[in-house]
Chain A
Amino acid sequence: QSALTQPASVSGSPGQSITISCTGTSSDVGGYNYVSWYQQHPGKAPKLMIYEVSNRPSGVPDRFSGSKSGNTASLTISGLQAEDEADYYCSSYTSSSTLAFGGGTKLTVL
């Protein structure tokens, strides 16, 4: 069982927006602004998409955005594109000085 809870799957049509949630506790997501989001295509290594809740690394399209409210963080992808179809994982620093991952969300672009 993962420490952070994500929906198993979400879907959307090209051009639409989707949001993936990541729910933890006050000991991780709610207690720190150190939530990251990773994109993973099949057979590939994960790629950092969002860090510190809402910051985008250089090269990540601004269609990707992150936010947090209480113990739940969210990743929003606007203007969905076919290449966005992938697995997405959230992670959070924890009060035990460790890292927790979510179970992952499979995004399907219809």
Chain B
Amino acid sequence: QVQLVQSGAEVKKPGASVKVSCKASGYTFTSYGISWVRQAPGQGLEWMGWISAYNGNTNYAQKLQGRVTMTTDTSTSTAYMELRSLRSDDTAVYYCARGIGLRPFDYWGQGTLVTVSS
């Protein structure tokens, strides 16, 4: 069965970076892309961007351009999302999901809580 398993919770100081992983199993990794979505406490879903696991092409949300980098490691079927220059308003649960572009997000990871606090 398809599974996306994310890395554990992180606590970071303002200005630091965080890298969240998302290990896929149960399907051919390079046949689908991975999207990243975050949810601040008590707030709605925010699309962060996506990456093609086939060729590494990315598309990021404009508000995160310059601070976010999404990568994949096809040898381990793992996607990564790195967010730099963290601010308090980056505190959120970060989800990976299978699907990019026109494809719906049909499977989701369990979420990773990133807390940014001094």
Contact = CB atoms under 8 A, between A and B. Distances in A.
B95 A46 contact: yes
Contacts, number: 55
A45 B96 CA distance: 10
Interface residues of B, number: 21
A102 B46 CA distance: 9
B46 A48 contact: no
B105 A89 contact: no
Interface of B: 35, 37, 44-47, 50, 59, 61-62, 95, 97, 101-102, 104-106, 108-111
Contacts of B109: 45
Given A97-B59, A98-B59, A51 B44 contact: no
Interface range, A side = 20 to 34
Interface string A19-50: 00000000000001010101010000111100
